[in-house]
Amino acid sequence: MLRGQVSIVNDLGLHARAAAQLVRLASGFSSRIKLLRIDNAVIADAKSILSVLTLAASKGVVLEIEIDGVDESPAFSAIESIFANGFGEM
Amino acid sequence: MQSRLPTISVRELVESVPAEMPLEVLAGQSGLENRKIDSPRIQKLGLALAGFAHYIHAGRVQVVGQSEISYLNQLEPERKNDALAFLDVDKISCILVTKGLDPPTELLALAAEHGIPLLRTPLVSSIAILHLTTFLHETLAPQMSVHGVLMEMFGIGVLIVGDSGIGKSECALDLIGRGHRLIADDSVRIKKIGTLIEGSAPELIRDFLEIHGLGIVNVREIFGITAIGKPKKVELAISLKRWDEFEAIDRLGIETQEEEVFGIKIPKFVLPVSPGRTIATLVETAVRIYMLKLSGYNAAQSLIAKHRTMVGS
């Protein structure tokens, strides 16, 4: 199991299209990928768009990621980089 | 899985308390935002006014009824000021005057000076406390979110869990087609109220379902209001598993498995998913089996008993 933190860096935050991108990316891995928002106790499955949207994560929000499975390390770096490059909006 | 103990501001209390309990703010408006309530229990201010002043619990609503008002009113003006001066104003979240009584001017002045919201309701103390604690118990219940689908089936809250992509939402769609109701898809908000757990949809995704290939579907618009369920006690869990992950199938169904949700154990059925198995039919049957078990019938035990008689053991 890998854990880490990512921040939302793009101006629009984790909006619907960004969330769809994230879900598409996450669904390509077999590992279980969870996103947690500590400040309001919301937990989301990165492979489900509705679940990701309930995070209501705007710019500056920090999310914890938890990845568990056989392909956890490539999944971790892929998820980390999609957040770091602001879903291609930077 | 995270949980939290929520707090609400006095403003939120005033704005969201049910209509059966009218509230007006008499003084101390400046404290509405920063004074918080974090306990569903209330406290009567009587003892504190009589001098046992350090016994005020922070984070509770302080109730002032007929007895407190009469007590204050029979005091000499000087003693009345003393009684109020002893109060630890930082610990008082807000004061609720019941029965539509008029609080003494000294209390109004104290509330205004320190920004302690002074509220009033026309209800008598007993009824006001009943409404207030019920409301606060629900509002301040610890909550968390779980990944899954919550359905209302035959009046029972059924939580369907399983890995993403296994077909939980498609199963929900099938169940809606059979007349069951969707409460929440993908992300279910769970509240622990005493020993029961209540599930509802986060406001944002209420009515919505995501189906691979169709995208976001608004269930209320497509199927109508009867397809949507209200927040419900979660009684039964259905766990969908891929056939290859499924070990040790209980072929008889004698053992009852349990799923722990937020520290509360509820019965669970684990259903293997594979092509050709109609999950909705299986889920529906599981709920019927659960209801039968509740009423005292267990098919496996009944068969075993018949078999035992037949073989004469």
pLDDT by residue for chain A (90 residues), tens only, comes to: 999 999 999 999 999 899 999 999 999 999 999 999 877 778 899 999 999 999 989 999 999 999 999 999 999 999 999 999 998 887
Q: What is the dihedral of CA B119, B122, B127, B129, to 10 degrees?
A: 10
CATH homologous superfamily of B2-139 equals: HprK N-terminal domain-like (3.40.1390.20)
CATH number for the domain harbouring residue A54: 3.30.1340.10
Nearest CA in chain B to A32: B163
- Tokens 């296994």 belong to B166
- pLDDT band (50, 70, 90) for residue B1: very low
Is residue A57 within 8 A of residue A8, CB to CB? The reply is yes
d(CA B209, CA B203): 13
Taking 70 as the threshold, does the pLDDT of residue B250 lie above it? Answer: no
B171: its two tokens? 């199963």
B120: its two tokens? 């009033």
- pLDDT band (50, 70, 90) for residue B2: very low
Is residue B208 within 8 A of residue A50, CB to CB? The reply is yes
How many distinct structural domains can be found in chain A?
1
Segment holding B238, helix H or strand E: strand B232-242
- Cα–Cα–Cα angle for B173, B179, B180, nearest 5°? 70
pLDDT tens sequence across B11-20: 999 999 999 9
User: Chain B: nearest CA to A42, how far in angstroms?
Assistant: 6
Residue contact A50–B146, C-beta within 8 A? no
**Least confident among B82-86, B91-95, B216-220, B234-238:** B82-86
Say whether residue A62 is in contact with chain B using an 8 A CB cutoff.
no
| A50, A53, A63: best to mutate for the B interface, most B CBs within 10 A | A50
Q: Beta strands B61-64 and B42-44: pairing type?
A: parallel
Cβ pairs A/B, distance under 8 A:
59
Residue contact B186–A45, C-beta within 8 A? yes
pLDDT tens sequence across B68-86: 999 999 999 888 888 898 8
d(CA B61, CA B131): 12
Query: B120 pairs with which residues across the strands?
Result: B24, B97
B262: CB partners within 8 A, 6+ apart: B1, B3, B142, B144, B190, B192, B197
> pLDDT: is B277 or B160 the higher one?
B160
In angstroms, the Cα distances linking B291 to B244, B282, B294 are 29, 14, 5
d(CA B78, CA B84): 10
Mean pLDDT of chain B: 90
Domains B2-139 and B143-303 share a fold: no
pLDDT tens sequence across B31-54: 999 999 999 999 999 999 988 877
Taking 70 as the threshold, does the pLDDT of residue B247 lie above it? Answer: no
A42 contact residues in B (CB cutoff 8 A): 2, 145, 187, 202
Is residue B220 within 8 A of residue B226, CB to CB? The reply is no
Query: B161 pairs with which residues across the strands?
Result: B239
d(CA B139, CA B143): 10
User: Chain A: nearest CA to B139, how far in angstroms?
Assistant: 15
DSSP string, B261-284: ETTEEEEEEEEEE-TT--HHHHHH
Which amino acids of A are annotated catalytic? 15
- pLDDT band (50, 70, 90) for residue B275: confident
- pLDDT band (50, 70, 90) for residue B164: confident
A43 contact residues in B (CB cutoff 8 A): 1-2, 144-147
B165 contact residues in A (CB cutoff 8 A): 27, 47
Residue contact B208–A47, C-beta within 8 A? no
Q: What values do phi and psi take at A80, rounded to 5?
A: -60, -45
Section B167-173 average pLDDT: 93
- Check if B168 is active-site: yes
d(CA B50, CA B71): 9
Q: What values do phi and psi take at B237, rounded to 5?
A: -115, 140
Domain extent for A21: 2-88
Segment holding A50, helix H or strand E: helix A49-53
pLDDT tens sequence across B112-140: 999 999 999 999 999 999 999 999 988 89
Is residue B117 within 8 A of residue B111, CB to CB? The reply is yes
Is residue A75 within 8 A of residue A31, CB to CB? The reply is yes
What is the per-residue pLDDT for B313?
A: 64
- Name the catalytic one among B168, B180, B181, B268: B168
What is the per-residue pLDDT for A89?
A: 81
In angstroms, what is the C-alpha Rg of chain A? 12
What is the reported pTM? 0.76
Residue whose C-alpha is closest to residue B273's, from B154, B170, B145, B192: B170
CATH architecture observed for domain B143-303 = 3-Layer(aba) Sandwich (3.40)
User: Chain B: nearest CA to A34, how far in angstroms?
Assistant: 10
pLDDT tens sequence across B195-212: 899 999 999 999 999 998
Nearest CA in chain A to B163: A32
Burial of B11 from C-beta contacts in 10 A (0-12 / 13-18 / 19+): middle
What is the per-residue pLDDT for B297?
A: 86
Say whether residue B1 is in contact with chain A using an 8 A CB cutoff.
yes
Q: Where are the domains of chain B?
A: 2-139, 143-303
d(CA B148, CA B169): 9
Adjacency order of strands within the sheet including A2-7:
A2-7, A62-68, A32-37, A42-45
User: Chain B: nearest CA to A46, how far in angstroms?
Assistant: 9
Residue from the list A27, A36, A51 with its beta carbon closest to the beta carbon of B187: A51
What is the per-residue pLDDT for B248?
A: 66
Alpha helices by DSSP H, listed for B146-185, are 168-177
B277: its two tokens? 């198995």
Say whether residue A38 is in contact with chain B using an 8 A CB cutoff.
yes
- Check if B251 is active-site: yes
